[in-house]
Structure 1
Amino acid sequence: MPKIVDIDETPNPNARKFLLREPLSWGIAHSYDNAQQAQGDALASALFAIPHVSNVFYIDSWLTVTQDGQANWDKLAREIAIPVRAAPAASAQSAAAVFAARATVAELSPEDRQRLDDIELILDQQIRPYLQSDGGDLHVLGLTGNQLIVHYQGACGTCPSAISGTLQGIESRLRTLEPDLEVIAA
């Protein structure tokens, strides 16, 4: 059962990042914008049952919960702690469930697959660590021509700066690889 080690504020005032002693997943991101999306995920469903919870994102040993801005964080954090402590640690998950959860990008040509691999390398090394330190992440939804479609997760999903400054910074960094690349947040 995961224990909360610390709770960090994020750049998004409506989100908090919960650092855990044990991992909840093995490198698989779980991101939900509402209770309906969370069906089948016991932890996320329990968190959405708490009033004011509007987004749940977790991977490895941390969890980000976003609220609607109407709750007191001290009280809400105590309520969030209950289902987090009751959740199974990643070691209790089966390998089959982990592999089934891996997201895939639509069929790509070998050239586009290489382009996407190069983009993912930059995202993994230079972008995601910063987003993750703030309780969020970025998932690539697709690559079509010169458009990279991404989806913000966790605290980044509702952060006002994610769509403006952060997106521009990501696009600027990726344009060193592909000068005509356009990054679109979906």
Structure 2
Amino acid sequence: MFIETETTPNPATLKFLPGEIVMASGTREFTSPEAAAASPLAEALFALGDVTGVLYGRDFIAVTIAPGAEWAPLKPQVLALLLDHFVAQAPLFTSAGADFSVPGEADDDTNYGDDPADADIVEQIKDLIETRVRPAVANDGGDIIYRGFREGVVYLKMQGACSGCPSSTATLKHGIESLLKHYVPEVSEVRAA
């Protein structure tokens, strides 16, 4: 088995591609060792010491390290854990860890609310995020989760390589906000949730 590695716009995050499906749908992010207890693989990655985030995507695992940590000594350790996991065909989650209600939203259920009168607008926004935004950020080892639309403001949660990335504000404001405003005139702003 060969696991490819790709850099991301966030220098603290590397994207690992095992050449097979990691999660059939959605994403799952772990931002602490306590949350990682739901997944033996995430727990092992956090046990390396300098790992501060793990994101499972469809065909990748994005791993984020602490500020000041270096990838050079850590990358071979991460690759060894991933290789062992996939060769053994070990489960991604414990039985309790697999039980979460909405893919990609297990760690934070904050919702900024949608006005029922805006249902058509919200559907347009969600469709654009699903078809145009999420695939693009997944290429960079991240994900963006819709959190709500209220009074012209779209609230999005950035995960994986997108969370804490130096270019995340530009991505939100110049990329996603411009796209949404172009197709959905009711959108006035996009904010990180």
TM-based fold match above 0.5: yes
Tell me the amino acid that sits aligned with residue 166 of structure 1. T
Structure 1: 5+ residue stretches without partners: none
Q: Whole-Å Cα distance in 2 between the matches of residues 23 and 59 of structure 1?
A: 8
Tell me the amino acid that sits aligned with residue 143 of structure 1. F
Percentage of identical aligned residues: 30
Give TM-score scaled by structure 2 length: 0.80
SS in 1 for 2:35: coil
Q: Whole-Å Cα distance in 1 between the matches of residues 51 and 159 of structure 2?
A: 15
Of 37, 42, 56, 1:44 maps to 42
Deviation at 1:14, TM superposition (A): 1.0
Q: Whole-Å Cα distance in 2 between the matches of residues 99 and 93 of structure 1?
A: 12
The structure-2 alpha-carbon separation of the partners of 1:54 and 1:123, relative to structure 1 and needing over 3 Å to count, comes to: same
Residue 126 (structure 2) pairs with residue 120 (structure 1): yes
Give TM-score scaled by structure 1 length: 0.82
Asked if structure 2 preserves the Cα contact closer than 8 Å seen for 1:25 and 1:90, the reply is no
**For 1:130-141, what aligned pairs fall within 5 Å after superposition?**
130-141=136-147
Number of aligned residue pairs: 181
Q: Whole-Å Cα distance in 1 between the matches of residues 90 and 26 of structure 2?
A: 13
Of 170, 182, 185, 2:189 maps to 182
Deviation at 1:143, TM superposition (A): 2.1
Deviation at 1:81, TM superposition (A): 2.1
The runs of at least 4 consecutive aligned structure 1 residues that moved more than 6 Å come to: 89-94
Structure 2: 5+ residue stretches without partners: none
Deviation at 1:167, TM superposition (A): 1.0
Deviation at 1:45, TM superposition (A): 1.6
Residue 171 (structure 2) pairs with residue 166 (structure 1): yes
Q: Whole-Å Cα distance in 2 between the matches of residues 52 and 90 of structure 1?
A: 23
How large is the Cα RMSD of the aligned pairs?
A: 2.7
Higher helix residue share: 1
Deviation at 1:159, TM superposition (A): 0.5
**For 1:78-117, what aligned pairs fall within 5 Å after superposition?**
78-85=76-83, 86=85, 88=89, 97=98, 100-102=101-103, 103=105, 108=114, 110-117=116-123
Tell me the amino acid that sits aligned with residue 118 of structure 1. Q
Asked if structure 1 preserves the Cα contact closer than 8 Å seen for 2:153 and 2:189, the reply is yes
The structure-2 alpha-carbon separation of the partners of 1:98 and 1:20, relative to structure 1 and needing over 3 Å to count, comes to: farther
Asked if structure 1 preserves the Cα contact closer than 8 Å seen for 2:137 and 2:162, the reply is yes
**CA displacement, residues 68-100 of structure 1 (integer Å, 9 cap, x when unaligned):** 143332321211123323154679999xx4774
Residue 15 (structure 2) pairs with residue 17 (structure 1): yes
Q: Whole-Å Cα distance in 2 between the matches of residues 39 and 114 of structure 1?
A: 39
Q: Whole-Å Cα distance in 1 between the matches of residues 99 and 37 of structure 2?
A: 17
